């Protein structure tokens, strides 16, 4: 009898457990599931935030800042050759390609290095501070003598031509895209006006015309047939334009620089402005000398204009301008007051960086000439 009662009690317990077990299991599952779901939500949020943090990276405002020009010295001096030297660097039989950008696939090599830098405030006794910029004085004239003349030529801004843009070396070109390596066989010269210096000149012209200035843009490829002698060729062209347009007050020969440490290591002077990469620009203003074929009577007025433009550009776009180069060179700057040479980036820069620099320079030049 006792054994039978125990059996009935155990059966009752089993039956009770059987009845209530679904509710217990549900509660257990719910109790476990809810924290897991909550954990899953938290994990998802954390992953989402992490992903967003990784994607939104602050834009670097500068590249490696250079304050000492000795790192680009080549052949015993800065690789910014004179009008005589730079043409002797190119074989007479050298011809530009029609469109090396389209044929970039034909130059897939990576044996060359592009050193991307930002020129900052340079050190050395040859550098003279001028507001936000500098002059590199490679002449024997003292700094005070350089800045004693002012150039505040008034502009009519009535649509008549007052600014001339031309290109002695119009076929100079850039890398198709910004890169840290390049094919050392890439030509860096093109007769295609949409990718050579004419494209940069067009960008300047558009901004100046938008500011109300009358601009002539001479798109002649003076160096197409021969790089050697192109300064004499452009000289004849510019003299003709000036004779036909006596109201021209500013004459800009727009080039691309060729900064390099060696044939396989080139320099891309670059700065970020408004979140976009721009090539840096250098103005070259020449000093007269007995050694020059053509004396430059207005060299102080030219330099004064260079300072005026450089100062305005640096005020609007800090870092856009490299120091003004003032040296005993020709560059046809005897032909007119206000004659300057403009170096837009180097062959290590991309076409897009150069065109953007041209736009910014055009805006700054327009503001400088309004004053």
Task: Answer yes or no: is pLDDT of 313 > 80.
Answer: yes
Predicted confidence (pLDDT) per residue in 33-70, tens digit: 433 333 333 322 222 222 222 222 223 445 677 777 65
| Assigned token pair, 227 | 């790089």
Burial track 64-80 (b if 16+ CB lie within 10 A, e otherwise): eebeebeebebeeebbb
Task: Tell whether 26 and 116 lie within a shared domain.
Answer: no
The residue behind tokens 């002449």 is: 139
Predicted confidence (pLDDT) per residue in 176-220, tens digit: 999 999 999 998 999 999 999 999 999 999 999 999 999 999 999
User: Per-residue confidence at 100, pLDDT binned at 50, 70, 90?
Assistant: low
User: Per-residue confidence at 97, pLDDT binned at 50, 70, 90?
Assistant: low
| Nearest one of 199, 151, 200 to 309, comparing CA atoms | 151
**Counted domains in the chain:** 2
Instruction: Return all residues near 102 (Cβ < 8 A) that are at least 6 apart.
Output: none
Residues facing 131 on adjacent strands: none
Kindly state the percentage of the chain with pLDDT values over 90.
Answer: 59
Task: Tell whether 71 and 21 lie within a shared domain.
Answer: no
Counting beta carbons within 10 angstroms of the beta carbon of residue 220, is it exposed (0 to 12), middle (13 to 18) or buried (19 or more)?
A: middle
d(C-alpha 348, C-alpha 269), whole Å: 8
Task: Tell whether 21 and 90 lie within a shared domain.
Answer: no
- E strand map for 221-294: 250-257, 260-262, 265-273, 276-279, 281-286
Give the per-residue pLDDT at 154.
Answer: 87
Task: Tell whether 38 and 91 lie within a shared domain.
Answer: no
Task: Tell whether 46 and 144 lie within a shared domain.
Answer: no
Three-class SS of residue 237? helix
Three-class SS of residue 364? helix
Burial track 307-346 (b if 16+ CB lie within 10 A, e otherwise): bbbbbbbbebbebbbbbbbbbbbbbbbbbbbbbbbbbbbb
Domain boundary among 40, 57, 74: 57
User: Comparing 165-174, 232-241, 288-297, 337-346, which segment has the lowest mean pLDDT?
Assistant: 288-297
Task: Answer yes or no: is pLDDT of 167 > 50.
Answer: yes
Under 8 Å between Cβ of 192 and 170: no
User: Across residues 293-314, what is the average pLDDT?
Assistant: 94
Q: Is the pTM of this model over 0.85?
A: no
User: Comparing 91-100, 187-196, 274-283, 357-366, which segment has the lowest mean pLDDT?
Assistant: 91-100
d(C-alpha 264, C-alpha 245), whole Å: 44
Predicted confidence (pLDDT) per residue in 267-280, tens digit: 999 999 999 999 99
The residue behind tokens 């719910």 is: 30
Task: Tell whether 14 and 89 lie within a shared domain.
Answer: no
The residue behind tokens 């050579």 is: 196
Predicted confidence (pLDDT) per residue in 22-36, tens digit: 444 444 334 434 333
Task: Tell whether 79 and 117 lie within a shared domain.
Answer: yes
Task: Tell whether 39 and 70 lie within a shared domain.
Answer: no
Residues facing 266 on adjacent strands: 114, 260
Mean pLDDT, the chain, whole residue set? 79
d(C-alpha 247, C-alpha 337), whole Å: 11
Tell which wins on pLDDT, 76 or 246: 246
Give the per-residue pLDDT at 107.
Answer: 86
Task: Tell whether 149 and 168 lie within a shared domain.
Answer: yes
Three-class SS of residue 7? helix
Task: Tell whether 102 and 194 lie within a shared domain.
Answer: yes
Give the residue numbers spanning the domain of 167: 64-370
Task: Give me the CATH number covering residue 75.
Answer: 3.40.630.40
Domain boundary among 29, 57, 85: 57
Task: Tell whether 73 and 33 lie within a shared domain.
Answer: no
Tell which wins on pLDDT, 291 or 42: 291
Domain boundary among 57, 72, 89: 57
Give the per-residue pLDDT at 36.
Answer: 33
d(C-alpha 308, C-alpha 304), whole Å: 6
Chain-centroid distance of CA 212 in Å reads: 25
Task: Tell whether 170 and 23 lie within a shared domain.
Answer: no
| Nearest one of 367, 355, 361, 317 to 340, comparing CA atoms | 361
d(C-alpha 343, C-alpha 361), whole Å: 11
d(C-alpha 119, C-alpha 124), whole Å: 14
């Amino acid at each position: 009898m006792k054994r039978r009662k125990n059996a009935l009690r155990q059966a009752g317990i089993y039956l009770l457990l059987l009845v209530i077990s679904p509710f217990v299991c549900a509660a257990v599952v719910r109790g476990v599931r809810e924290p897991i779901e909550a954990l899953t939500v938290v994990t998802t949020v954390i992953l989402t935030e992490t992903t967003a943090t990784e994607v939104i990276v602050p834009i670097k405002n500068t590249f490696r800042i250079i304050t000492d020009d000795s790192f680009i010295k080549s052949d015993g001096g800065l690789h910014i050759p004179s009008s005589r030297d730079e043409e002797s660097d190119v074989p007479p039989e050298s011809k530009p390609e029609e469109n090396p950008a389209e044929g970039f696939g034909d130059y897939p090599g990576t044996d060359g290095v592009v050193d991307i830098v930002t020129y900052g405030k340079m050190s050395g006794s040859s550098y003279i501070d001028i507001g936000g910029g500098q002059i590199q004085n490679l002449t024997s004239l003292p700094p005070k003598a350089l800045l004693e003349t002012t150039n505040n030529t008034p502009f009519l801004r009535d649509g008549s031509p007052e600014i001339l843009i031309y290109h002695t070396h119009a076929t100079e070109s850039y890398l198709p895209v910004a890169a840290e390596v390049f094919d050392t066989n890439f030509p860096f010269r093109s007769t295609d006006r949409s990718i050579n210096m004419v494209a940069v000149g067009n960008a300047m012209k558009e901004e100046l015309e938008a500011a109300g200035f009358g601009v002539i843009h001479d798109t002649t490829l003076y160096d197409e047939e021969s790089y050697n002698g192109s300064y004499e060729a452009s000289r004849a062209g510019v003299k003709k334009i000036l004779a036909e347009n006596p109201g021209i007050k500013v004459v800009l020969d727009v080039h691309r620089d060729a900064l390099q440490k060696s044939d396989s290591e080139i320099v891309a002077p670059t700065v970020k402005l408004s979140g976009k990469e721009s090539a840096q620009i250098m103005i070259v203003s020449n000093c007269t000398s007995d050694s020059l074929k053509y004396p430059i009577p207005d060299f102080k007025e030219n330099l004064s204009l260079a300072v005026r433009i450089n100062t305005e550009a640096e005020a609007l776009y800090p870092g856009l301008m490299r120091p003004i180069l003032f040296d005993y060179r020709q560059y046809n700057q005897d032909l007119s007051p206000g004659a300057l040479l403009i170096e837009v980036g180097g062959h290590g820069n991309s076409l897009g960086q150069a065109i953007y620099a041209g736009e910014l320079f055009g805006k700054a030049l327009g503001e400088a000439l309004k004053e």
